[in-house]
């Protein structure tokens, strides 16, 4: 079966328009292949493919090379400022806009949620989850993730946060014992903030609705409307229909009811941190390995 290029949607966003323009000029230049253009630009073919498809933000310096390759008199340099403002893939954009205005944020995640991740933990997680991304792409995503934490620490708090974490989030040694000890310290500090509640859903709770690998977020907006968002490792979906949202709220309340109390969660964090700290000293194995 012949290989077919993916369909582009330049109307979706400046990032998609930028990518579509790359393809348009490739086609206008003797139907140049993507690999040939990457060779001319001295650029990664895989990275260039993701930029053309609107999946990745163009890095600084690429626009000048494209203008030179296509003789476009600065067109790509003029497109770049708009395309560069979008640090997140399109599938997250609608959800993230709502996150920025929510007055209540409730979530269940299999790992430490992005809003509570240390920079070292986030970097290790991104390196593992996107092993074929370039260092520039991972740095872009890391910067965006860290920037999103600003609202969590505003005074007065603009939002009430309730996080339910799967126990595996603190058992799996992402980045090693030192990174995990730091991450657990951050979780302990966050859990003691007046506008943040954290619970751990223990492995002993057994089967539950989200154990198939889905994260669930519920946002209450200023007009008291609630929306839900589900996310897998390679997809995300926003729910606004009242019946869909109510169903997911019921599921979340079941998860919250199965989770440890905030006090027991705090004790578990401290115990897990001690295990990883001892592992650093070489005294015992980390708790995650017991």
Is the confidence at residue 132, as pLDDT, over 60? Answer: yes
Q: Which residue has the higher pLDDT, 148 or 158?
A: 158
Which H/E stretch holds residue 231? strand 226-232
Confidence of residue 2 (pLDDT cuts 50, 70, 90): very low
Tell me the CATH architecture of domain 90-289.
2-Layer Sandwich (3.30)
What number is the average pLDDT over the span 185-196?
A: 96
Give the integer Cα–Cα distance in Å for 230 and 248: 9
Residue 47's pLDDT is what? 85
Query: What b-and-e string marks burial along 190-224, b requiring 16 or more CB atoms within 10 Å of the CB?
Result: bbeeebbbbbbbeeebeeeebeeebbbbbbbeeee
In angstroms, the Cα distances linking 289 to 109, 111, 185, 205, 264 are: 21, 17, 19, 20, 21
Q: In the chain, which residues fall in CATH 3.30.870? A: 90-289
| 102-116: pLDDT as tens digits | 999 999 999 999 999
Q: Output the average pLDDT for the chain.
A: 88
CATH of domain 14-84: 1.10.260.40
What number is the average pLDDT over the span 173-192?
A: 96
DSSP string, 96-154: HHHHTT-SEEEEEESS--GGG--HHHHHHHHHHH-TTS-HHHHHHHHHHHHHGGGGGG-
Residue 1's pLDDT is what? 41
Residue 11's pLDDT is what? 75
Is the confidence at residue 18, as pLDDT, over 60? Answer: yes
| 212-240: pLDDT as tens digits | 778 999 999 999 999 999 987 667 788 88
Query: What is the Cβ-side half-sphere exposure of residue 77, based on CA atoms within 13 angstroms?
Result: 11
Residue 188's pLDDT is what? 97
Q: In the chain, which residues fall in CATH 1.10.260.40? A: 14-84
């Amino acid at each position: 079966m012949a290989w077919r290029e993916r369909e582009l949607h330049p109307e979706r966003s400046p990032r998609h328009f930028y990518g579509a323009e790359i393809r348009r000029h490739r086609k206008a230049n003797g139907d140049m292949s993507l690999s040939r253009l990457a060779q001319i630009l001295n650029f990664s073919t895989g990275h260039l493919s993701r930029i053309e498809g609107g999946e990745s933000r163009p890095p600084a310096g690429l626009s000048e090379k494209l203008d030179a390759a296509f003789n476009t008199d600065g067109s790509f340099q003029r497109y770049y400022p708009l395309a560069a403002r979008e640090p997140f893939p399109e599938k997250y954009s609608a959800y993230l806009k709502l996150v920025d205005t929510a007055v209540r944020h409730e979530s269940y995640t299999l790992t430490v949620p992005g809003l509570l991740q240390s920079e070292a933990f986030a970097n290790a997680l991104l390196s593992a989850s996107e092993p074929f991304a370039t260092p520039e792409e991972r740095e872009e995503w890391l910067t965006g993730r860290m920037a999103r934490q600003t609202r969590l620490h505003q005074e007065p708090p603009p939002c009430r946060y309730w996080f339910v974490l799967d126990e595996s989030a603190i058992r799996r040694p992402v980045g090693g014992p030192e990174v995990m000890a730091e991450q657990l310290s951050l979780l302990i500090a966050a859990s003691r903030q007046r506008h943040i509640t954290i619970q751990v859903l223990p492995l002993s709770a057994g089967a539950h609705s989200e154990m198939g690998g889905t994260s669930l977020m519920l946002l209450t907006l200023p007009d008291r409307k609630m929306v839900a968002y589900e996310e897998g490792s390679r997809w995300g979906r926003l729910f606004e229909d009242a019946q869909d949202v109510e169903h997911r709220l019921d599921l979340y309340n079941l998860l919250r009811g199965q989770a440890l109390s905030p006090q027991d969660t705090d004790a578990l964090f401290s115990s897990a941190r001690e295990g990883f700290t001892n592992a650093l000293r070489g005294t015992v194995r980390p708790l995650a390995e017991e």
